[in-house]
């Protein structure tokens, strides 16, 4: 086929790519959405989530939006109390919120004793205006343990309004509306808006903005690095098109399949840009060497030679990289699973564009000028040759250093911990974290954790001994630093017992009589709103809901609470009561366990598959094992660094090991492929080592520089986990690069795998 026909075919290929890209862009415009609801991150068929969802339906457990109103002069004044009333009514009137799901000082029930028995009244309906009425309100709140310290802070400067919402209620419009309400009532009071839905909503707003900021920055960095490495404007543009098109196709496919963008998905562009350029670098590196040797060669001959020698290692590296990401499919966490699948698709798209678009583009625009590839062989060759010779000569030192690094890493691994806290996505000095901290300092906590106690027969929770056991559990939980408060049916019973005995503190206990408890409950149902009890007990008094308010949503806090609860399991068993868990806090804990399980399974799977693939590619299982050594060391270094630097394993950092395996194995494949070819050409082990280190080592260096530069851009992300990921992946790429050119090279060299029969006198 002559040049004219090849150019025509090249234009046809480019036109087809443009058409398909247009389809994907159209899909992205109409069907791209951000998903931040934590429930949507989890497998809903998992037994823990099935039970939790059933318990949430039974007791009406919902995540709440918290509006805190602070008046540094105290809340007991006409203006502040009017605002509490007005804001409560405005929130109650919002679409998707049930009036009874909004709790504030204005709507809360005050259980009191009277000459007629028990009464349940509002604290106020009309805003008190006289000093006497204001003082009476203050006294009523102070006398009610169910309100004082829970809805009104102990210093009486802050009060909160809690609005429980359904999962499908929270939208961008709802988020904006609730924030607008808070802002409109500022002055002289300060208003704070917090809660799990607000954290999720803020993440949903900031994540796309962060992606829009990161993508151009990483593109600029990659262009700069490519221009330095390739010294070719044509090569830089073609490499850039490869990664940009692969990114568009990836997000386009997500839109076509109606897969949402999760917080971790925002890193896919950085991944593909950093990874995709590697294929072009290896192609252009080979083309450079060919033009050096054949400066007068025809364009078609140069491109044929490039494709003949490079298609196999490039395809192999792309496949192993895709396998590394695809292994994440074993995770039960949807964002991690989809991240792996679609990044793998993006990698294969980048491979397609590298092998199709780059040759087609060069056919149209022509080869880079030979002078742009001129390199001083003497200095480069001498350095690479000396490096290869020193590694080969100092085998013991190289192995000793590797052993030391592994030992330090193993120590660090013992300190790795898991965390799924959504707040960990934000800076400590960000508005959302400051707000959360303020409310936690003044109240029980912005996160909740539910303990569901389920008996084997009805009316068990009218038994005073069972309720006393519940009360003891609550008291023990509240001794934990990060547990701000607990609430259950026991609190209702204690309050009723106290008010029915002239508000004497010694009666703030569970009564000893089952009949008395039953009588109190009957009086409450007659005097107040019996629906209030449905949040803590079922109709048959067989299943009880105990809510623990937590001052942190991290897994360490929840695990410490569970440890206390589990110590009561045998005691509850004596009453025929089983302990279960529910709510967003518990789901978060299960979430962390699934992260760890998925991390281990995906890591093991990816390493095994990579070993098998490399063994198959080189038709030697021993080569597969040798190739895996750098990524095994890199994996140890990764987790060791996380432990030593106190970086938690979370939804974002859980991706690192599979990324390290997928990308790091590329260096090994390219090195081994060239080592094998040079061994055939030279027949001399030392010369083979030197040439491989000079030619392929140089390409691997360029590759590592570009990938590291790309991932280091994540250091400018507004989200700490993304910055951690950028730093750790960069460390991993450096570790893989060094490991390949040292310990793996040494293993190949001393194994004599391609030199079964040593030449006489060879060392």
pTM: 0.72
The CATH 3.30.70.1440 portion of the chain extends over 60-201
Type and span of the H or E element at 162? strand 158-164
Given a cut of 70, the residues of the chain with pLDDT beneath it are 1-3, 36-39, 167-168, 274, 369-381, 420, 528-530, 651, 654, 755-763
pLDDT for residue 101: 87
Q: What number of other Cβ atoms are within 10 A of residue 744's Cβ?
A: 23
Q: 328 near 337, Cβ under 8 Å?
A: yes
Give the C-alpha separation, 370 to 212, whole Å. Answer: 37
Give the C-alpha separation, 456 to 337, whole Å. Answer: 39
* Cβ-proximal residues to 188 (8 Å cutoff; 6+ apart), any chain: 71, 73, 79
What's domain 60-201's superfamily in CATH? Answer: Multidrug efflux transporter AcrB pore domain (3.30.70.1440)
| Strand order across the beta sheet in which 577-582 lies | 483-487, 543-550, 447-455, 577-582
pLDDT for residue 564: 95
The CATH 1.20.1640.10 portion of the chain extends over 1-31+213-369, 376-414+620-763
DSSP character at residue 422: S
Coil, helix or strand at residue 233 = helix
Query: In sequence order, what DSSP letters do the residues of 287-351 get, joined into one string?
Result: HHHHHHH-TT--HHHHHHHHHHHHHHHHHHHHHHHHHHHHGGGG-S-HHHHHHHHHHHHHHHHHH
pLDDT for residue 595: 73
Instruction: Give residue-wise pLDDT tens across range 655-705.
Output: 777 777 777 788 888 899 888 888 888 888 888 888 888 888 877 888 788
pLDDT for residue 378: 40
The CATH T-level fold of domain 1-31+213-369 is Multidrug efflux transporter AcrB transmembrane fold (1.20.1640)
Q: Does CATH place domain 376-414+620-763 in 1.10.1060.10?
A: no
Q: How far is CA 398 from CA 374, 389, 401, in A?
A: 33, 12, 5
Give the C-alpha separation, 521 to 513, whole Å. Answer: 13
Instruction: Give residue-wise pLDDT tens across range 398-444.
Output: 999 999 999 999 999 888 887 767 777 777 888 888 888 888 888 88
Q: 457 near 542, Cβ under 8 Å?
A: yes
Radius of gyration for the alpha carbons in the chain, expressed in angstroms and rounded: 33
Give the C-alpha separation, 152 to 71, whole Å. Answer: 12
pLDDT for residue 644: 92
Q: Give the position of tokens 């360490």.
A: 556
* Cβ-proximal residues to 379 (8 Å cutoff; 6+ apart), any chain: none
pLDDT for residue 470: 95
Q: 662 near 322, Cβ under 8 Å?
A: yes
Q: What number of other Cβ atoms are within 10 A of residue 575's Cβ?
A: 17
Torsion (CA) 85, 87, 92, 94 in degrees, nearest 10: 160
């Amino acid at each position: 086929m002559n040049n004219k026909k090849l150019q025509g075919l090249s234009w046809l290929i480019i036109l087809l790519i443009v058409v398909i890209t247009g389809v994907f862009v159209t899909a992205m415009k109409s069907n791209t959405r951000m998903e931040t609801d934590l429930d949507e991150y989890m497998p809903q068929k998992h037994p823990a989530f099935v039970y939790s969802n059933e318990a949430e339906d039974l007791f009406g457990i919902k995540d709440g939006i918290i509006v805190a109103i602070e008046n540094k002069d105290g809340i007991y004044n006409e203006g502040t109390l009017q605002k509490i009333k007005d804001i409560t009514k405005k929130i109650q009137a919002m679409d998707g919120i049930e009036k009874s799901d909004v709790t504030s000082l204005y709507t809360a029930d005050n259980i009191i004793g009277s000459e007629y028995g028990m009464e349940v009244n509002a604290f106020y309906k009309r805003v008190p205006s006289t000093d006497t009425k204001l003082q009476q309100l203050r006294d009523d709140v102070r006398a009610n343990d169910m309100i004082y310290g829970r809805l009104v802070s102990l210093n009486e400067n802050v009060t909160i309004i809690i609005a429980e919402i359904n999962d499908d209620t929270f939208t961008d419009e709802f988020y904006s509306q609730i924030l607008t309400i808070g802002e409109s009532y500022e002055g002289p009071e300060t208003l704070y808006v917090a809660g799990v839905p607000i954290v999720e909503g803020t993440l949903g707003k900031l994540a796309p903005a962060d992606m829009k900021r990161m993508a151009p920055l990483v593109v600029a960095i990659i262009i700069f690095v490519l221009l330095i490495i390739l010294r070719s404007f044509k090569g830089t543009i073609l490499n850039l098109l490869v990664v940009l098109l692969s990114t568009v196709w990836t997000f386009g496919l997500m839109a076509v399949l109606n897969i949402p963008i999760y917080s971790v998905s925002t890193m896919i562009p950085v991944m593909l840009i950093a990874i995709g350029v590697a294929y072009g670098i290896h192609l252009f590196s080979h083309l450079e060497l060919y033009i050096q040797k054949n400066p007068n060669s025809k364009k078609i001959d140069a491109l044929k030679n490039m494709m003949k020698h490079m298609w196999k290692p490039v395809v192999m590296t792309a496949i192993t990289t895709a396998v590394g990401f695809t292994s994440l499919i074993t995770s039960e966490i949807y964002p991690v699973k989809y991240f792996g699948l679609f990044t793998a698709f993006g990698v294969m798209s980048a491979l397609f564009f590298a092998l199709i678009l780059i040759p087609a583009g060069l056919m149209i625009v022509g080869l880079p000028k030979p002078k742009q590839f001129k390199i001083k062989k003497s200095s480069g060759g001498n350095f690479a040759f000396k490096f290869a010779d020193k590694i080969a000569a100092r085998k013991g030192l190289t192995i000793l250093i590797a052993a030391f690094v592994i030992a330090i890493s193993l120590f660090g691994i013992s300190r790795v911990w898991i965390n799924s806290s959504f707040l960990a996505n934000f800076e400590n000095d960000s508005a959302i974290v400051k707000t959360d901290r303020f409310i936690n300092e003044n109240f029980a906590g912005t996160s909740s954790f539910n303990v569901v106690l389920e008996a084997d027969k009805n009316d068990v929770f009218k038994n005073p001994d069972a309720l006393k056991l519940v009360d003891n559990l609550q008291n023990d939980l509240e001794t934990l630093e990060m547990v701000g408060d607990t609430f259950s049916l026991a609190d209702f019973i204690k309050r009723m017992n106290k008010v029915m005995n002239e508000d004497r503190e010694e009666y703030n206990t569970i009564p000893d009589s089952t009949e008395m408890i039953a009588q109190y409950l009957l009086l409450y149902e007659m005097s107040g709103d019996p629906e209030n009890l449905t949040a803590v007990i079922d109709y048959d008094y067989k299943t009880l809901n105990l809510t623990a308010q937590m001052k942190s949503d991290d897994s360490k806090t929840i695990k410490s609470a569970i440890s206390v609860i589990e110590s009561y399991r045998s005691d509850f068993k004596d009453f025929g009561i089983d302990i279960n868990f529910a709510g967003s806090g518990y789901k978060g804990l299960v979430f962390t366990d699934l992260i760890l399980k998925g991390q281990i399974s995906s890591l093991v799977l990816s390493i095994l598959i990579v070993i098998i693939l490399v063994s198959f590619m080189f038709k030697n299982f021993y080569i597969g094992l040798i190739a895996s050594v750098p990524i095994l060391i890199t994996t140890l270094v990764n987790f060791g660094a996380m432990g030593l630097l106190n970086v938690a394993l979370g939804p974002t950092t859980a991706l690192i090991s599979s990324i390290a395996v997928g990308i790091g194995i590329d260096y090994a494949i390219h090195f081994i492929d060239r080592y094998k070819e040079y061994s055939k050409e030279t027949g001399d082990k030392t010369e083979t080592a030197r040439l491989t280190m000079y030619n392929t080592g140089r390409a691997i260096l360029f590759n590592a520089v570009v990938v590291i530069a790309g991932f280091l851009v994540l250091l400018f992300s507004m989200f700490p986990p993304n910055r951690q990921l950028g730093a750790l992946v960069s460390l991993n790429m450096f570790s893989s690069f060094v490991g390949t050119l040292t310990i793996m090279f040494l293993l190949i060299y001393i194994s004599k795998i391609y030199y079964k029969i040593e030449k006489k006198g060879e060392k």
